[in-house]
Structure 1
Amino acid sequence: MFPIFLSLPGRTVVVVGGGRVGGRRARAAAAAGAAVRVVDPAPPAGASVIDGITWVPEAYQPDHLAGAALVFASAPAAVNARVVADAKARNVLVCDAAEPDRGDFTLPAVGRRGELVVAVGTNGAAPALARRVRDQMLAGVDDSFVAWVGILHELRSVLRNSVLDPAVRAALLTEFSSDEWLDRVRADAPAARAAMGDRVRASASSLPPGV
């Protein structure tokens, strides 16, 4: 398995089967910015567009995958098999909720605190263990740690636009990711943020050698 964090805004995600599992995956994809289409012959009462999710109240057909960048098969096993085959024929990545080995990818156990995202997987072998490890990791994340990650997220775009030398940018990000800066955030987050900003401004005129 090759782990990635995938950007979904502007992409279409199709979920076949809108039950508990399919609904959860549809909501997660919508929260990530995807245009989500759920195909289910028995959608929730009155469903049309809910929380940015478009419900298609029809039995699955291959044409339902038109335009999909990502597909989740969360229907009965026989339908899932068809969805997987049709998605692969279109060279679209597909996840089979019932038979992980049949699809192209599995989903990790995910936890979020601010800009920090923790994802743990076991290649589908033990989802409960993945959730346990995720919870153990997040248990060690306090509010100061979350604030620190938020500051780093904010400064990254500033660095990209103001520090032209990639080596200097990398060095600053490495420095800001050290325990020393976490301790400074814990002691006084606004002061630490201001000090990081001063360091960035001091390097803002840095150019690659020879430029």
Structure 2
Amino acid sequence: MYPIMLDMTNKLCVIIGGGKIAYRKVVPLLKAGANIHIVSPEICDEINKLWTEQKVKVFLKEVEKADYEHAFMIIAATNSKEINEQIYKNTTENQLVNIVSDQEMGNFHIPASAVRGRLVISVSTGGASPALAKKIRNDLLDQFDESYEGYLDFLWEVRKKIKNSRLSETEKSNLLLKLAEEKFKDSEKERNRFMTWMQEFLVD
């Protein structure tokens, strides 16, 4: 497997299935800005709420190839192994496909993930043990607490300033490494001091 972070903004993602498992796939995709279509004869209350709020489109019907033939991403989350397999057979090699009932059948799987602002923690065991992946994710969340949210916002802003400064490439690289030091995570005073120091090197 090749790990990657995808920009899903306005990408068509078709989820086949309307139960709790399908809902769990919908939530992070909504946060990522995907254009979500759900195809299922029945939907759970949580999906119905999202539909009522016009956050997703729902098609109350049995799935057909035309429902997902133009999708960027397809997630088959029905309770029928046969339907899930048929969906996979109808997809093209250029589509991202996740078959919930058989991780080996699709071409990607969804890791155990958590978000702390700009920090995204994802853990995969290659399908060997989703339970262990979740345990490792939770252990990492204990290590990377809420303080990282503000720290990463600072790193985002200061990185743009460094790249737009008059400093040499070597100096820029050294500064970016220095910013990973613990003192910048723990001290807002250190961050402000650094930002003030940076002002004289910025390009007008």
Q: Same fold (TM over 0.5)?
A: yes
Matched ranges for 1:1-211 at <5 A: 1-44=1-44, 47=48, 48-50=51-53, 52-75=55-78, 76-87=80-91, 89=92, 91-160=94-163, 162-163=164-165, 167-182=170-185, 186=186, 188-189=187-188, 191-205=189-203
Write the deviation string for residues 62-87 of structure 1: whole angstroms up to 9, x where unpaired: 01114311111111211111111222
SS at match of 1:81: helix
Q: Supply the distance in 2 between the matched residues of 1:51 and 1:29 (Cα, whole angstroms).
A: 15
Q: Report the count of equivalent residues.
A: 199
SS at match of 1:118: strand
Q: Supply the distance in 2 between the matched residues of 1:169 and 1:74 (Cα, whole angstroms).
A: 47
> 1:205 deviation in Å?
3.8
Q: Indicate conservation of the 8 Å contact 1:176/1:196, yes or no.
A: no
> 1:117 deviation in Å?
1.2
- What amino acid does structure 1 have at the position aligned with 2:11? R
> 1:201 deviation in Å?
2.6
> 1:11 deviation in Å?
0.8
> 1:52 deviation in Å?
1.2
Q: Supply the distance in 1 between the matched residues of 2:172 and 2:72 (Cα, whole angstroms).
A: 33
> 1:120 deviation in Å?
0.5
Write the deviation string for residues 140-170 of structure 1: whole angstroms up to 9, x where unpaired: 123433321221123334444x237655544
- What amino acid does structure 1 have at the position aligned with 2:71? A
- What amino acid does structure 2 have at the position aligned with 1:7? D
Gap regions ≥5 residues in structure 2: none
Q: Supply the distance in 2 between the matched residues of 1:63 and 1:163 (Cα, whole angstroms).
A: 51
Q: Supply the distance in 1 between the matched residues of 2:59 and 2:10 (Cα, whole angstroms).
A: 19
Q: Supply the distance in 2 between the matched residues of 1:58 and 1:125 (Cα, whole angstroms).
A: 34
Normalised to the residue count of structure 2, the TM-score between the two structures is 0.86
Q: Runs of 4 or more off by more than 6 Å in structure 1?
A: none
Q: Supply the distance in 2 between the matched residues of 1:43 and 1:156 (Cα, whole angstroms).
A: 45
Gap regions ≥5 residues in structure 1: 207-211
Normalised to the residue count of structure 1, the TM-score between the two structures is 0.84
> 1:90 deviation in Å?
5.7
> 1:28 deviation in Å?
1.4
Percent of matched pairs sharing the same residue = 23
> 1:92 deviation in Å?
0.4
